[in-house]
Amino acid sequence: MPNSSFILGGVEVLRGTNVTINIELPKLYNTPTQLPVRVIRGKKDGPVVFISAAIHGDELNGIEIIRRFRKLNILKKIKGTVILVPVVNVYGMMNLSRYLPDRRDLNRSFPGSSKGSLAGRVAKIFFDEIVKKCDLGIDLHTASIHKSNLPQVRTNTDNEYTFKLAKAFGAPVVLHSELRDGSLRAVAQEQGVPILLYEAGEALRFDETSIRIGVQGLVNVLRENEMLPKVLRKTARKLPIVTKSSKWIRATESGMLRTIKALGDTVERNEVIAYIDEPLGDDSFEILSPFDGVIIGKSEIPLIQEGDAIFHIAKFNNLEVAENKIEHFNENMIEQSEFHELNNEEIIE
């Protein structure tokens, strides 16, 4: 996308500058509300990429990922423009809520309308002011309340470009994900703006491993997109697990959930992964895995009602390979600091 003159929110962003822009949002009970945006523009032209978080107001990991990312020295070498939007759903974050005050899901409200609901108006401002100006987006999420996600990138794996970027991100799992009506990813794709979705951790909580993988992942994608200089690697990057199929396992009974398997564990078909116990009785009910795979999401609350989603399993037949890959990611990301790694790599100019 040509960007000799780049304007966002009525402000011209010059080459080689790093500016903060506040975009006006609808007032909340007549209290002024703004969408804070950081724009980092390199001295040389290149792609325009937005990185957003907290489209759901209770998903906090992405806010911290963007905060750490924008402090990296390597961004001084950026080619093109990066637009950072750490809190899209300002209203939801203020209320510790996934939704807006009108109880709508912002990620089902795109492309929005200037004459619609509050969610529709916020969606239109974000889409028109930011998304439409970009060549690529990276949207940061966590699981919903009382659930957690293994770090994973969701995208259309049939698209060669987004699949390449998804693998470069460096999360343990790449999951093929279909589009949902009204979602940012679906509407952006219609406009020719592909989006990677990073899902990691739990709502209303920070998870250090998820955050570190996220920060490194943003740098990896920008490198793969030729916006940051490449590095001389001493070892080959470990490839993620790639799967096109996953399923949420739902509770067949109500009671107390007693898990046997954890996030990131491999499971075999018909293996017991949890029990549901009657709190006042003696009966226990087995929860079985429907196929071989890896647990990429799970409930974090023991109280379970019949029909509740309790385990998200990605289908993967070679369990030995899957286990080795998950173990590799856990060891590396827990022991290493992304700031040390990113500021001490040997750059290939």
> pLDDT at position 337, please?
44
Mutual angle of helices 61-69 and 208-224, in 10-degree steps: 50
* CATH annotation of 245-322: 2.40.50.100
- In sequence order, the β-bridge partners of residue 79 are 44
Task: Tell me the pTM.
Answer: 0.93
By CB atoms closer than 10 A (0-12, 13-18, 19+), residue 302 is middle
Q: Stretch 278-288: mean pLDDT, rounded?
A: 93
The answer on pLDDT for 70 being more than 70 is: yes
Per the structure block, which two tokens stand in for 269? Answer: 């078909």
Q: How many other C-beta atoms can be found within 10 angstroms of the C-beta atom of residue 33?
A: 15
* pLDDT-based confidence at residue 259 (cuts at 50, 70, 90): very high
What does the angle CA 144 – CA 71 – CA 162 come to, to the nearest 5 degrees?
55
Instruction: State the average pLDDT for the chain.
Output: 92
> Are the C-beta atoms of 4 and 32 separated by less than 8 Å?
no
Residue ranges matching CATH 2.40.50.100 in the chain:
245-322
What does the angle CA 82 – CA 167 – CA 172 come to, to the nearest 5 degrees?
110
Q: Which residues neighbour 130 within 8 Å (Cβ) at sequence distance 6 or greater?
A: 8, 37, 50, 52, 83, 85
Q: Rounded to whole angstroms, how far apart are CA atoms 157 and 245?
A: 11
6-240+332-348: what fold?
Answer: Aminopeptidase (3.40.630)
pLDDT tens, position by position, 267-280 = 999 999 999 999 98
Q: What's the number of CA atoms in the CB half-sphere (13 Å) around residue 165?
A: 23
Residue ranges matching CATH 3.40.630.10 in the chain:
6-240+332-348
> pLDDT at position 346, please?
45
> pLDDT at position 210, please?
95
pLDDT tens, position by position, 166-193 = 999 999 999 999 999 999 999 999 999 9
